Chain A
Amino acid sequence: MASIAAAQVQEVRSITRIERIGAHSHIRGLGLDDSLEPRAVSQGMVGQKMARKAAGVILQMIREGKIAGRAVLLAGQPGTGKTAIAMGLAQALGPDTPFTSMAGSEIYSLEMSKTEALTQAIRKSIGIRIKEESEIIEGEVVEVVVERAAGGGGARVGRLTLKTTDMETNYDLGAKMIDSLLKEKVQAGDVITIDKATGKINKLGRSFARARDYDATGQQARFVQCPEGELQKRKEVVHTVTLHEVDVINSRTHGFLALFSGDTGEIKSEIREQINSKVAEWREEGKAEMIPGVLFVDEAHMLDIECFSFLNRALESETAPVVIMATNRGITRIRGTNYRSPHGIPLDLLDRMIIVPTTPYSHQELREILNIRCEEEDCQMSADALTVLTRVATETSLRYAIQLITTASLVARRRKATEVSMEDVKKVYSLFLDEHRSEQFLKEYQDEFMFDDGAGGDNAPQMMEVSQ
């Protein structure tokens, strides 16, 4: 038993160390040049030139920050890069602009009302840049130690030793701080600052004392002096907080009594009003700056009529972010009503939106995307295998073809090959069914399955939409 537990711990550890590869982790921006013209292949983006150009215009609008409460709809077939464009936009905006991403169905599984969930999402997408005095720890890293507490599966324990030219101190680290130190790849010899209130880590460079180290310091390694004096200082720092964070800070004034009053995470509207007027005051005095961000609602057709009418109203507020929605539905029923409407969104809301269509990829573009994904998933693929895979993508779907990349590379690795060949792709193609072949299979053998009504799948689409 003990060995199993140890193996599990090992597994957990390896996952937290490696940066995981997500469906859109190859996206690094919108792939536009300085004049916002889309490049053919850039920053992980391929094709979809019109939609990317449109996103570039929207990017410019957000950056200027003057216009509040615009809504954009990304509409297109499944697998045409709607989410990718939204992710690219988030990357292009940079870490200082709040970007909140949510799925339309998310609002139903929370312990709060739908409108509260939407309000919170909207307020998470508005940033406030404010100057505040903060406790800053600034020093050179002497040692970072992370170890797991004895007994297996215990919490991680971290210790950080920092020094200045005058002193040295040990710090105990919590789990979050350990994660962010690992993520920033902080190591001995780095000069860093840590904001004690927010836990934000900033790498200033390598210490001059380590300049002679011949270990792998990148070309862009910057060398700085080891700080002097006390490790901990009070400094004026510019913080970016979201309106939602300010709400939460102020709604917890009753301290831990809030725990007993059945705190479900809803925030009273008086508090929001109070904060709105306070923020307005700060802006007038020049103490704070407002950064309108982006709220991205994926699968927007999953919102219901209540949400849509709420959004109608919320978009008119001065403190509304730019709302980007994505949907892959055509003319369909609006959730919560019996009316049908394009994209499952009521016409009055559609009227307020600018709609950006995405179109299916061409053969060449699919090949390019698969190539990028191969690189991202660290998989060597021969040219003919890529051709086969592109064919698979054209005939079935891009998502299915992408699924085959890593599976095929695993098959190739089993036969100790360094490159994925056509045979490997064929093998996984036969091992894993795509949606179309699975349907074929069901149609053939449906009378052997349980609860079959023999109607040949006619009922299926209806079944999917009754869920309310």
Chain B
Amino acid sequence: MKRTSSLIENLNDGSIKLKKTIISVNFENKMFRNTIWYKSLLGAEKSCLKEDKIKKVHYKFEDDREMVEEYNVDTQVLLRRAWKVKSKLGGDGKWEVEIGDPIPDPTPNVEIADIVESKDQPIVTRRNTRVNLEWRIRNLPYPISTYSISANNEEKCITVRTTNKKYFKKLQIPELIRLGLPIEQAHIQSTHQYNTLIIMYKKPQQLLDMDKEWYEELKQVKPIKDVPNECKAQ
């Protein structure tokens, strides 16, 4: 619906522009279907589980990687995406969260994790909304004027700097990299409140389209009805 309304707006602008837009829309709007990412999603072995208002999807890709996504059924927003990262030497991998709050470790390995950031140090979490990609950096007490947030297309990331040289971070945007889209400075917005710096990046049309289409696609994966008891307990 939204797309047609924007078309109408363009129509008012002038007929020449209209033609261009139609061509580009037709050409661009399904471009994500040709990306390796979308194809790998299609090719992955998927299983689905519905729990209250959350739809959990497990992907097993052809190259043996594993990913889990959690969607809010009402808003269709992706709440969490995590990858299973295995070390080269084998062993059971750990879940690395790409989007959403980190999963607390039930059995912290005291032997290995001998050096960790203090609790009061800045920590980045991803939390996307329907229209924005969002980063929340907690424990950053400095005022908004301290930060400079810039798009870095060479390294395909957003760079956060502080004038007092206390914090520096390169934020990766895997969503854009997967679709091969550039990062545009104009789409970046930020606010600072309650010691938290929130950086928002407006989702490009391509990504919105893909999110929508993929959610439709996921409806074909039938949720598992009978969850084994031992799984429910957790």
Contact = CB atoms under 8 A, between A and B. Distances in A.
B117 A170 contact: yes
B92 interface: yes
A164 B112 CA distance: 24
Contacts of A164: 168
Given A170-B120, A172-B119, A241-B89, 20 more contacts: A130-B88, A163-B165, A167-B165, A167-B167, A167-B168, A168-B165, A168-B167, A169-B118, A171-B117, A172-B115, A173-B114, A174-B113, A199-B112, A229-B170, A230-B170, A245-B89, A246-B89, A250-B89, A252-B92, A255-B92
A214 to B, nearest CB: 26
A167 B121 CA distance: 11
Contacts of A168: 165-167
Contacts of B120: 170
Interface in B121-148: 121-122
Interface in B85-125: 87-92, 107, 110-122
Contacts of B165: 163, 165-168
A255 B92 CA distance: 8
A199 B115 contact: yes
B190 interface: no
Contacts of B168: 164, 166-167, 229-230
A121 B87 CA distance: 24
A172 B116 contact: yes
A129 interface: no
Contacts of B91: 249-250, 252-253
A249 B122 CA distance: 31
A395 B105 CA distance: 63
DSSP majority for the A interface? mixed
B90 A172 contact: no
Interface residues of B, number: 28
Interface residues of A, number: 38
Nearest to B122: A169
User: Which 3 A-B residue pairs are closest in the complex by CB-CB distance?
Assistant: A166-B168, A174-B114, A167-B168
A186 interface: no
A249 B90 CA distance: 7
Most buried by A among B88, B111, B122: B88
A173 B113 CA distance: 9
13 contacts: A137-B115, A160-B115, A166-B168, A167-B166, A169-B118, A170-B120, A170-B121, A171-B118, A172-B116, A172-B118, A245-B89, A250-B89, A252-B91
B114 A256 contact: no
A397 to B, nearest CB: 42
Contacts of A210: none
A174 B122 CA distance: 20
Interface string A355-384: 000000000000000000000000000000
B56 to A, nearest CB: 20
A167 B116 CA distance: 16
A278 interface: yes
A224 B14 CA distance: 62
Nearest to B91: A249
Contacts of A278: 90
Interface in B144-184: 161-162, 165-170
Contact of B118 (A170, A174, A198, A255): A170
